[in-house]
Structure 1
Amino acid sequence: MSDAGFRQGLEYLEAGQLKDAEEAFQSYLQEHPEDALGHNKLGVVYGRLQDMEKAKACFLKAIELDKNCIHAWNNLGNIARQDGELDQAIRYYQKAVDIDPINPIPAKNLRTVQRQAKWSFSRIKDLLGKNSD
């Protein structure tokens, strides 16, 4: 399978044909195991299939292959944020922003999770303060 395999995986992913996308990206990666973006996209497929363990493994593999894969850093931030690990999400998003400060997606995600973390801390502090009376 050539680069056409990657494009086919993208088409399946965009069409919501997740099992077909999974197969296409897996086949592509058999021939191109060092392609960080291929691993990232396979991780996106697993994320949409709600298999976060496999998704995270794919994103980590993408970063292992390319430390500057901002998409994988951003996607790891998304998983951490979804899991309520806001400090970890901030670190992942910050890494993506450090790599590409112009990319609006990780920058927006970073600002959002920073607000969430601040709100969560403030809210918990307020709740604890009210309960200590």
Structure 2
Amino acid sequence: MKQKNQMETRFVQPLSCLTLSIITTIGILPPATAQEPSPAKLTCEEVLSNAEQKPRQKQVQKLAQFADPQEERSQLIQQANALFNQGNLPGAEETLCKFLKKYPDDSFGHFQLGNVFFRGKKLEPAISAYREAIRLRPRYAVAYNAVGVVYASQSRWNDAIAEYQKALEINPDYGDALTNVALALWQTNKKDEALASLEKALNIFQKQNRNEKANQVQQLLQRIKTSDDNIS
């Protein structure tokens, strides 16, 4: 269980490094109805259809022959992580889509697929993948935080705040969600609430000896505290 949590933390880390300078506005469609295939599923079907027209990778064939399902799961997840970290998003997508076709009830797999979609700016499929992870694992704080980050990337601040708050209801000491909700609160002119959230996040990161995160939060605190002076 500890290893799985570490994998999730490493994989979601790019999401928690959201800065105001990279925020863009991109509209998305409403969530699909229960009768319709989800955006994530439709995207995976397209990915797998394209993959069938290409020569199969030997490594994937070898993994599919493992007798132990847990060993196969672990290998596929590791392969997806490696491809993601290398910047090979199509490869990571294909691996995760194959993984989820075989293991559709794996919440972590859907969460990782959402990360890959988000990095590739496929925002609607990303939200869909995160929602599926939450459906399978209702108290998935990291997935709620991830949905909030997608909304924040579209400047949908109130929607983002709602998702961050859901994550914090599950885990009140979730430092990344506290930092992200502070950024969204600041954008909605709730400066005092933003500062309070950042102060709490700073305290948590310091207790966890996450010095890099603590330094980032300190910089955000200073930026927000001096924002009125900059405006005037």
Q: What's the TM-score, normalizing by structure 2?
A: 0.49
Letter in 2 for 1:102: D
Aligned pairs (5 A) from 1:85-104: 85-104=156-175
Aligned pairs (5 A) from 1:54-133: 54-118=125-189
> How many Å apart are 1:70 and its aligned residue?
1.6
Question: 1:44-100: per-residue Cα shift (whole Å, max 9, x none)?
Answer: 111111111111110111111111112211111011111121111001001111111
Q: Aligned-residue CA RMSD in angstroms?
A: 1.5
More helix by share: 1
> How many Å apart are 1:103 and its aligned residue?
2.2
2:83 alignment partner, one of 12, 17, 22:
12
Q: What's the TM-score, normalizing by structure 1?
A: 0.84
1:130 corresponding residue in structure 2:
none
Letter in 1 for 2:94: E
Letter in 2 for 1:12: L
2:109 corresponding residue in structure 1:
38
For 2:81 and 2:171, locate their aligned partners in 1 and report how far apart those are by CA, in whole Å: 23
Q: Tell me the secondary structure at the aligned position of residue 172 of structure 2.
A: coil
> How many Å apart are 1:102 and its aligned residue?
2.0
Matched, 1:23 2:94: yes
For structure 2, list consecutive stretches of 5 or more residues without a partner in the other structure: 1-63, 65-71, 192-232
8 Å CA contact 1:37, 1:69 repeated in 2: no
Letter in 1 for 2:114: G
2:31 corresponding residue in structure 1:
none
Letter in 1 for 2:157: L
For 1:19 and 1:57, locate their aligned partners in 2 and report how far apart those are by CA, in whole Å: 18
> How many Å apart are 1:19 and its aligned residue?
0.6
For 1:109 and 1:11, locate their aligned partners in 2 and report how far apart those are by CA, in whole Å: 26
Calculate percent identity across the aligned residue pairs.
28
Letter in 1 for 2:145: N
For structure 1, list consecutive stretches of 5 or more residues without a partner in the other structure: 121-133
> How many Å apart are 1:13 and its aligned residue?
0.8
For 1:75 and 1:31, locate their aligned partners in 2 and report how far apart those are by CA, in whole Å: 24
Q: Tell me the secondary structure at the aligned position of residue 115 of structure 1.
A: helix
